[in-house]
Amino acid sequence: MKIFLTGGTGFIGSHFLLQALQEGYEVKALKRQPTSRTKIPLNKQPEWLEKDTEEVLVADMKGCDVLVHLAAHSVIYPFDTLENCIKYNVLSPLNLFNKAKVAGIKKFVVAGSCFEYGKSGERYDFIPTNAPLEPTQTYSTSKAMASLAFQQFAIDNKVQLSIHRIFQVYGEGENPNRLWPSLKKAALSGEDFPMTKGEQVRDFISVSDVVSHFLKACSEENTEKGSNVINVGTGKPKSILEFSQLWWHKWNAKGQLLVGSIPYRPGEIMRYVPEV
């Protein structure tokens, strides 16, 4: 099987490449600049295609069996404008998908976002995949729009599409400003870690488990056309405090968790857990 991959130099994409290449998959990975590097070291390099998404040709995707779309624009706060998020998260990949269809690709595996659910997530103990999409930010709005657009693409073109909405993923290579890497930095350096009361409940899933999920989606035999949406989580909710304490002890941290020293963000969603 040969995979055409977008977002190969990103956090999840880097881990996807590491695991896919170790398991013997052929991967042609898109990266925008020759100087771009993966977030973690690779034992083996994929076939890199150094182009912007808009520059990819039908010929570039010939011979590939699956398109795995992990690339996303403006994932980290502060988010870009709605116009740019729509351009790069909806219109540009949709154009790529159309070229992939012409190239003979009939299977599309797409990374969605749990934040597509937005405010509706507050109404569920465990968010089902058919929950209303009520995003609250430009990025999440564009991802929700992309889900609808890609599903219509699958209907129109009679191809297989799966959208995998990822919940609280963490691991090596993650943006250093996010919880797990900043927690690790403080723990290993012997510093205290200021945090909220940590009552927010999330479904934390390791990036390696996310990648295993995506590789399984690539290899699963499925002759049915159309689309389906899947939540990617563990089904084992934890509070942020429980998660932080778990890792703090694993790293034998000498400092202290300064619980409650930071206020919650305005509009903080206190429970955000998927039905898996």
Q: What per-residue confidence (pLDDT) applies to 267?
A: 82
Q: Could you read off the pLDDT of 192-233 as tens digits, one per residue?
A: 999 999 999 999 999 999 999 999 999 987 656 777 999 999
The stretch 62-82 carries a mean pLDDT of 96
| DSSP 8-class letter at 127 | B
Rounded to whole angstroms, how far apart are CA atoms 235 and 230? 13
Residues 6+ apart with CB under 8 A from 140: 113, 115, 116, 118
The stretch 104-132 carries a mean pLDDT of 96
Read off the pTM.
0.96
Tokens of 28: 């042609």
Phi, psi of 120 (to 5 degrees): -65, -25
Rounded to whole angstroms, how far apart are CA atoms 165 and 110? 9
Q: Could you read off the pLDDT of 241-255 as tens digits, one per residue?
A: 999 999 999 999 999
Q: What per-residue confidence (pLDDT) applies to 266?
A: 86
In this predicted structure, the answer to whether residue 120 has a pLDDT above a threshold of 70 is: yes
Residues 6+ apart with CB under 8 A from 223: none
Q: What per-residue confidence (pLDDT) applies to 32?
A: 87
Tokens of 74: 């403006």
Q: What per-residue confidence (pLDDT) applies to 268?
A: 86
Q: What per-residue confidence (pLDDT) applies to 223?
A: 59
Tokens of 189: 């350096």
Q: What per-residue confidence (pLDDT) applies to 136?
A: 92
In this predicted structure, the answer to whether residue 51 has a pLDDT above a threshold of 80 is: yes
Which residue has tokens 């699958």?
A: 154
Rounded to whole angstroms, how far apart are CA atoms 177 and 11? 13
Pairing of strands 47-50, 66-69: unpaired
Q: What per-residue confidence (pLDDT) applies to 221?
A: 77
Contact 4, 105 (CB under 8 A): yes
What structural domains and CATH numbers belong to the chain? 2-169+205-232 (3.40.50.720), 179-201+236-272 (3.90.25.10)
Rounded to whole angstroms, how far apart are CA atoms 72 and 188? 31
